[in-house]
Amino acid sequence: MGRPNVLLVTADHWPASLLGVAGHETVRTPTLDQIARNGVRFTNAYSECPVCIPARRTLMTGTDPRTHGDRTFQTELPMPDLPTLAGSFVEAGYQAYAVGKLHVFPQRDRIGFHDVILVEEGRPQYGLTDDWEVYLGDRGFPGRGFDHAMSNNEYATRPWHLPEDCHPTTFIARETCRAIRRRDPTRPGFWFLSFTHPHPPLVPPRDYLEMYRDTPVAEPPVGEWAHDEDALPYRLKLQRRGWAKLSPPAVVDAHRAFYALCTHIDHQIRLVVGTLREEGLLDDTILLFTADHGDMLGTHGLWAKRLYLEGSANVPMLLVGTKDDERVGHHRTDDRLVGWQDVMPTLLDLADLPIPPSCTGRSMVGDDPRSHLYGECNEGHTATRMIHDGRFKLIYYPIGNRVQLFDLEADPHEFVDLSTVAEHSGVRRQLTDRLVAELYGSDLDWLKDGELVGLPDQDCPLVPNRDLSIQRGTHWPPPPVDPPDPAAQTSKLR
């Protein structure tokens, strides 16, 4: 047998808990559940920086945020001068194709892929009409992808407004199937299938929303530490107040729509697996499914990402090897700590290719699991940091010098904050020392004589949301385009 093919599948905003195989009682994910049984599910997988652009830089370079240079979501920051995942496969003779969301700048930077069919969620301000929007025009719906009027960063919902073949999930899966069929049969293939959902807008096709119409939805759990909003760390108060408080029926609607988007993705993955089977490639293909981060979905009264609570930072990580690959096996779970920086070295390792020395990640099928994982997201007043040792997780919020500590083995839903419990002071001290050792740059301002002192606490007033969480407008005729300076390196909150 020659070198294996590789199919890397990512979703956006998919928490690790939202899989039937992970014990979720509502969401329907038959395809991903079987994929998990066909290989190994890593239960302690985390996004080192749980927001789209930094996470994708980690994925595509096999490096942590400190190495690749973004922990804040810098929309106009070019990719670092590092070997990429696609480039490493291409150097080894692979054909490499990507379909869906890359989230790089400039947007047509192929970052090592031979070709990219791009779906960038309506960002013409960066000088691009993406391939999905071109398809909509060809179908007779130019500029109408966002006529549903739902925001890309809110939790109002309605059914998809165009034919199902125009939905970005369907388009991305279909184009991936075509890329597989158009491959050069004399070379192995590396395919990156990057779905834009279940990230809002919450606009699933009507048939998928109907699947959940009568499904009971449990009320999001709230830990004992989260009931008093005024007592929360500043960063968590900011997150709570940044999204309008949804009524109980609206919370149920948001969950049903989110689950519907997940099931739509799950079903579309079936077509890709079926295409690999019919092309005679399935037994010789490595498959990995993961997500750039999760979504709090109302847990502890919080929504969205950028936090190190489980709903935001813990991500699915499902790995299937080629047929009879004993390094991966099947019907397995693995509780070692893994992150997105580990995807690149894992896939290269399984393909028996060299791992660039620039990678800070390590192979998930190797015999050298890490003892702890560090996470960093944002700077200044919105910063938060994480240190995780596989059982205990410490989260640090510099504003107010606040800490949370959770025993995820005994308390997987993070109901009880142990940071002030005397019998856990030793664990807190040990994890704090590890976190301090990871700090650099402006984070060093949080230290005095080697001890964390953080930054002064501050008020968290309500602020208006004038742009409706970056609401898209009409895109026909095309909106004004003002491509930014490629050399600019700005940091914008999404």
Give the whole-angstrom CA distance, residue 388 versus residue 355: 25
Residues 97, 177: Cα–Cα separation, whole Å: 11
Write the CB contacts of 136 (distance below 8 Å, at least 6 apart in sequence): 142, 143, 144, 145, 162, 166
Task: Let me know if 41 is exposed, middle or buried by CB neighbors in 10 A (0-12, 13-18, 19+).
Answer: buried
The pLDDT of residue 233: 98
Nearest to 492 by CA among 118, 4, 25, 125: 125
Amino acid at 454: G
Distance CA 393, CA 391 (A): 7
Domains of the chain, CATH where assigned: 5-370 (3.40.720.10)
What are the tens digits of pLDDT across the range 7-40? 999 999 999 999 999 999 999 999 999 999 999 9
Separation of alpha carbons 259 and 205, rounded Å: 12
Give the pLDDT confidence score for residue 494 in this predicted structure: 41
Q: Rounded to a whole number, what is the largest CA-CA distance in the chain?
A: 65
Burial of 26 (0-12, 13-18, 19+ CB in 10 A): middle
This prediction's pTM: 0.96
- Residue type at 282 in one-letter notation: L
Given this model, what pLDDT does residue 52 score? 96
pLDDT the model gives residue 484:
52
pLDDT lower than 70: segments of the chain: 1, 482-494
CA dihedral over 378, 381, 382, 385, signed as positive or negative: positive
What CA–CA distances, in Å, run from 145 to 437, 476, 493?
47, 10, 23
Inter-residue contact 241 to 462 (CB < 8 Å): yes
- Rounded to whole angstroms, how far apart are CA atoms 48 and 438? 13
Neighbours of 484 (CB within 10 A): 14
Q: Which residue is it, tokens 């008020």? A: 459
CA distance 305 to 313: 7
